[in-house]
A = this chain, B = another copy of it.
């Protein structure tokens, strides 16, 4: 049966969490690994990303027995603590530009929880990472590995994964780093750039690259069930993602067929391609090569400079000043979140 999950919770409600249905039974739920994944989502690298100081310790309520998945729905929650709701009273009617305040207001007719972005808060990516960690544990049993890195922040770029030779060892090496890049020197330049953005009271966007290794060929389907489409449904569910490409992606837009066709040959009894411009997917179906995608992440819209907006209580123009510490770049935390989306998509495709 198809893997399904539902993320629930609001930034300043009692708890956030996730229910995952149709996990395989008998998978050991390695809490150390899950905690590492949740930690990867938190503040790091000299305070470059900041977050509420919370334990974020997940509590598993169901679906695990004697340390293994039961196969019945698994629910885990993370309590919200340290929430100061009054911070939001003064500006509660001022829709933050490029946030979901206004669209959530329309969608839910004014009944959405406005505090800290409510259900639209980046905090909701914690249960997503939890679910992704579970999915990674399930996938590991099938020889599938997921990993990502920060390919770009502003004008600084990391070394891309080699689409043919990218290995589980490299993914693990990057995941273990404080700053998820292939080339640590690029990481240092990115940190400086983020620091500069903070000084200038702005924020900066970037690109995350993800690899899914070990997927068997022949998974997926054409039409609306394409592997690209499944990954996209999960990836575009991550706040701030505004673009997604597979393999060469938008690079195909300036390419010629003879340059980018992936020629095929036998290698150790397997069909392989010499290049992997298609990112491991053809006709919506995996071909056994690494799946590679890049996701564009917009600069966090919370910046300290005054912004023009609308007061939703009076429907009049207004000026908004957001105070307090804000994250000038969410890319550092987004890597593991996009890995989670990729892992859930991969497990769905294989379920």
Contact = CB atoms under 8 A, between A and B. Distances in A.
Given A100-B282, A102-B271, A1 B242 contact: no
Interface string A306-329: 011110000111000000000010
A49 interface: no
Interface string A9-35: 110011111010110011000000000
A298 B95 CA distance: 39
Given A102-B287, A205-B254, A260-B98, A70 B300 contact: no
B218 A107 contact: yes
A258 interface: yes
Nearest to A201: B258
A299 B205 CA distance: 29
Interface in A65-111: 65, 68-75, 77, 95, 97-100, 102-104, 106-111
A220 B300 CA distance: 21
Determine the interface band of chain A, counting residues with CB < 8 A from chain B: 35 or more
Interface stretch (A161-169, A173-181, A261-269): A261-269
Interface stretch (A38-46, A182-190, A244-252): A244-252
A142 interface: no
Q: How many copies does the complex hold?
A: 4
B8 A257 contact: no
A214 interface: no
A12 to B, nearest CB: 9
Interface string A213-237: 0000111111111101110111111
A68 B59 CA distance: 26
A143 interface: no
Given A98-B282, A119-B222, 4 more contacts: A16-B61, A25-B109, A70-B112, A264-B309
21 contacts: A2-B2, A8-B61, A8-B63, A9-B62, A25-B112, A68-B111, A70-B108, A98-B262, A100-B282, A103-B220, A106-B287, A107-B285, A155-B254, A200-B258, A202-B258, A206-B253, A228-B236, A230-B233, A233-B233, A257-B303, A260-B299
